[in-house]
Chains A and B, each alone.
Chain A
Amino acid sequence: MEKLTDIKREKGKVGFVDKSVWITLLILLVLPFLISKPLATEILIYGLFALAFNLLLGHTGVLSFGHAAYFGVGAYAGGMALRYFHVSVWTSLVVAMVVTALVAAGIGALAIKKKGVYFAMISLAFAQMFYFMALSPFRKWTGGEDGLKFIPILKLEFPFPVDLTSALPLYYFTFFVVGLAIIALWRILDSPFGRVLKAIRENEVRTRATGYNVNRAKFLSLVISGSFSGLAGALFTIYLGYGSLMTLFWMTSGSILMMTLLGGMHTFIGPVVGVGVFMYLQNTISVYTDRWQLFVGALFVALVLFFPDGLVGTIKMKYRERKSRA
């Protein structure tokens, strides 16, 4: 399948980052004035998580069913650094990224060579292991099912004092970090390394035959994806003010997968759109019924059957069809 971004790139039209990235950032900039601020912040955080997840799924062609592991480990690593070592908020983000990169490297070393479905199963199992670890053996440090509480009051000192307990400053702090991360992810995908990942997605055997070290590229993709997911997790802890055990739950892996597919895994910005639509729907449906999973699950089944390219992917395809006909 030809990707629009690839074609444009060859014509030399793409600069620092794609136009769609700027548009998305612009929309995110005004988002807290359109919907409630907590929801907007969650969309930002999950948007970054989905983009990081999609680096592996959509751009490398590797399905991880256990990305909750990285999100959750990031959430706990950041939270524990804040709680037990009293580091600054910025440091906690770095700690979270480093720790999750190590976790991803561990899981990658054990499993990245496995074929598709097998890797999916193993990653899910490891995510569940972290969930249970936080739940009982390490509850003394993680707080078990209550989550990681007693995190000191969050504020920024550097470069200027910001109070992260009020909604709007928190949103723009998150926006700043997520924005930088989105640009970083775009640059990674636009690099020669990103090209290798896409080649692996399209045809792994041929990429290997061309002389690229496929397993190393997949491993690196997993580590980068995990590390940015961990960053999202740490932001989530800062947003909540405590570390939530739900970040490690299997449903978190499932949700991020559904959101990514909903937006369109073969586009760069699609996952963010998927997150926005999914969370807005979830917020709306759960007002009327507790059984929103039924709707979400049915929607997902329909998506897999009829629109595997997701919202953005399908729209792009229709747009291109019309353009080529005209």
Chain B
Amino acid sequence: MFDLSWEIVAMQMIFGLALGCVYVLMAGGLSIIFGLLDVVNFAHGTFYMLGAYAIFVAVSLCGNFWLGLVSAVVIVALIGGVIEWLLLKPLYKRDPLYPLLLTFGVSICIPDIIKICFGLIGKVVPYPSGLMGAFMWGPVMIPKYRLFIIVLTLVVLITLWLFLNKSNLGMIIRASTRDSMMTQVLGINVSRIWTVGFMIGIGLAALAGAVAAPMVASIPDMGVEMTIECFVVVVIGGLGSLGGAIIGGLLIGQVISFVALFAPSWSNVAIFMVMAIILIIRPRGLFGEEGRL
């Protein structure tokens, strides 16, 4: 056993926190879509992958990371909107399993399209110039980019909260999450609201992919594993709850980070064990509503 100093623990926590933030963005998007449309988006990880590829393309075209980040989110959200409008809309009348099956089909197709366009080799996005390296905070080394992810996630979450709770459109979205038929009766085009909600959820997934892109080499098949990990997060947190997505995401980030430190070969298995434990002690998830699932 190696000497475990608290500096290593602190650094591992920051790594875990940054990773957790990526999961929070992913699971938050998944939860918004589920809450609004009652659709479990199996292609969520696929849009994460698309976000990573979009920022790669945008950065290699214009050379600016920030412009790339914004355009990646916008472009992928638009793709998501088109898919919802074209493919998912006809399925809402049917059993809720069909949208899940459809998004599964989408998640099988899209990686192959990416393989045709970009090949199988991983694409690397360079770190933005100001955020390379790390700085010392006392004896603890803090990588700048990880800190940026944490701050960005915080900003996005606050914006999202303000948007959902203070803006008109946000209020309508919350209303149709609660009761879409009643909202429809009040004269609101719920179908359009659903498209907007879906795009917001997809935008969050794309953002997660885009900010993760400099840390990992993006490959076409990176999506499904992310989808599954995202499912674990929402099962732990409680599906359809934004608070659950946040707590679940942060918890999973820490679990992965610390198990990787102590027992590397178990790092992939650990999160599923946490899920099993949660299912035993609190079946509806940490923040899940009683009786909904």
Which residues of A approach B to under 8 Å, CB–CB?
63, 110-111, 113-118, 120-122, 124-126, 128-129, 132-133, 135-137, 139, 250, 254, 257-258, 261, 291, 293-294, 296-298, 300-301, 303-305, 308
Contact = CB atoms under 8 A, between A and B. Distances in A.
A114 B225 CA distance: 22
B276 interface: yes
Interface stretch (B51-59, B140-148, B228-236): B228-236
B116 A291 contact: yes
Contacts of A128: 225, 228, 272
A301 B293 contact: no
Contacts, number: 111
A298 B112 CA distance: 11
A125 B112 contact: no
Interface in B86-126: 87, 90-91, 94-98, 100-102, 104-113, 115-116
B273 interface: yes
Interface string B19-57: 000000000000000000000100000000000000000
A304 B228 contact: no
B275 A132 contact: no
A297 B116 CA distance: 15
Contact of A125 (B40, B265, B272): B272
A254 B108 contact: yes
Contacts of B95: 116
Nearest to A66: B228
Contact of B276 (A63, A110, A115): A110
A301 B106 contact: yes
B280 interface: yes
Given A110-B276, A250-B224, A261 B101 contact: yes
Which has the most chain B C-beta neighbours within 10 Å: A110, A116, A117?
Answer: A117
A308 B91 CA distance: 11
A300 B232 contact: no
Contact of B269 (A116, A124, A137, A300): A137
12 contacts: A115-B293, A117-B40, A117-B97, A120-B40, A125-B231, A126-B272, A257-B101, A291-B112, A293-B108, A294-B116, A297-B108, A304-B102
A129 B40 CA distance: 20
Main secondary structure of the interface of B (DSSP, over half): helix
A114 B293 contact: yes
B265 A297 contact: no
B90 A305 contact: yes
Interface size class of B (residues with CB under 8 A): 35 or more
Contacts of A291: 112, 115-116
B228 A122 contact: no
B268 interface: yes
B69 interface: no
Contacts of B283: 113-114
A227 to B, nearest CB: 21
A250 B279 contact: no
A118 B239 contact: yes
Contacts of B265: 136-137, 139
B266 interface: yes
B104 A118 contact: no
Contacts of B101: 257, 261, 300, 304
